[in-house]
Structure 1
């Protein structure tokens, strides 16, 4: 099991980040969503490698098999982890693929480190630019709802994650595409993550405003979102991002839930591979 060693942004301690490295060719880096791990990408890894690319998927700090520091789960720290991965593996001409919370890492990375090693970007069900409802973002998630999530994570995390998984896939409408066993698999990954990391990263995706940073995304970008996403409303996320990111292709997947990497995997993989090869 390979690891890279990254230093905390506040230089408190070194953190080991677990990653999976498969295939050969132009590197494609997969950044997983909250509260899962790199294992969510198994269908995409296979498709990407078979299409002739090198695919690298890693566990965000606090999740999967990566280290679990107590502090530093803000997007600056997470973007620095990504930068360290790219530098230590000496990756160039990379394609960054961020799902949900991972879209924030893509945008923060490009804002802080530029695109000297980045060729393209992909944002899938992404939280950017802003999750929280404000006067300037009326379609966002109300703050009281976000507070309920934080309270549940603090006091009833394991039960909350089980219910969240169903909403993640719009399970009532997608039972023919998502098995009960898969819900249990996701629950196992999510509940085994660091409780502290689960809460602190939730604060990051709930409160970080990327609206000004979207203009730092100058590489060709594929934006994919489901119009039935119950986790990240399309109106407050990809609909806005597609109007600001300069060079983008925006695709809305009909009836797609948040977890469309499972429910609409064939459609998503086709879009992804076509964009990688273009």
Structure 2
């Protein structure tokens, strides 16, 4: 297995496919998943001539399970160390859900010197939590419920979460038990403490100022029937904060659209990358 070791001694697992001389695409996954969530994209884009890289966030997947520092700032710094240690340039960053927050915070903390383009997919920025300044966000009770479900019986909670995650509770939806089982498998690979900490990281982090610092071509993709990260308080607001960004709304699409809309999603990203 390929790993880097961060400054605090945490081993971060990553996959690195395709030609090492090609333009790199680095994928950041959502909660509570792993790099494996991007396999369909990694194979597709490696076959299109790109170098594709995806890592397991600390305390997720095959990376070290740590007690402390499961925070958005640390996730962003880990991403920075991955780019630095692999000496990646002209990078395309792609982040889904929590991974979109990780990418955005990386750009806010470390700048865009290594970056060519950015894609945010079903991403949590600018802020998921409802506050006086963010009335369109979700109330804290929603995230307390996620914490309780994860702590009490995360195995069952992860199985149940797949239903709204992939829109399987909508009329006419075709349920894939394979996708549901793969979500569960990836989720159960992670550490409970880190996954609990990550709920606060993805729900309470305010990315407003980070978004304003993005000065690279940015594609924002979101389903308008996303039941996990509602589009109104996320993509619609992020598109206004990232100057010159492109907003692509998938009508009727769910939160897991990189899987449920895989062919369309891959084609849209390829067009953006080659433009």
Task: State the secondary structure of the residue aligned to 1:43.
Answer: helix
In the TM superposition, residue 247 of structure 1 has moved relative to its aligned partner by 2.2
Gaps of 5+ in 2: none
TM-aligned CA distance change 1:108 to 1:43, over 3 Å:
same
The number of aligned residues is 273
The answer on 1:208 being equivalent to 2:205 is yes
**Following TM superposition, by how much is the alpha carbon of 1:126 offset from its aligned partner in structure 2, in angstroms?**
0.2
- 1:16 matched to 2:11? The reply is yes
How far residue 157 of structure 1 moved from its aligned partner, in angstroms, is: 1.9
TM-score, scaled relative to structure 2: 0.96
- Give the Å deviation of 1:214: 1.3
Q: Deviations over 1:143-198 (max 9, x none)?
A: 11111111222222222111111111011338765411220121121122100111
Residue 227 (structure 1) aligned to one of 219, 224, 247: 224
Q: Is 1:41 the equivalent of 2:32?
A: no
Q: Is 1:50 aligned to residue 85 of structure 2?
A: no
Map Cα deviations across residues 218-238 of structure 1 (whole Å, 9 max, x no partner).
111000000000000000100
Distance 1:221 1:174, change over 3 A: farther
Structure 1 residues 172 and 138, CA, compared in 2 at 3 Å: closer, same or farther?
same
Q: CA shift at 1:121, angstroms?
A: 0.5
Paired residue for 2:6? 6
Deviates more, 1:214-223 or 1:178-187: 178-187
Within 2, Cα distance between the matches of 1:57 and 1:188?
17
Distance 1:45 1:56 in 2: 7
1:132 Cα deviation from its structure 2 partner = 0.6
SS in 1 for 2:73: helix
- 1:122 lines up with 2:119 in the alignment: yes
Which residue is equivalent to 2:187? 190
Query: Which residue of structure 2 aligns with residue 263 of structure 1?
Result: 260
- 1:138 maps to which residue? 135
Work out the CA distance in 2 between the residues paired with 1:257 and 1:195.
Answer: 26
Asked whether 1:73 is paired with 2:70, we answer yes
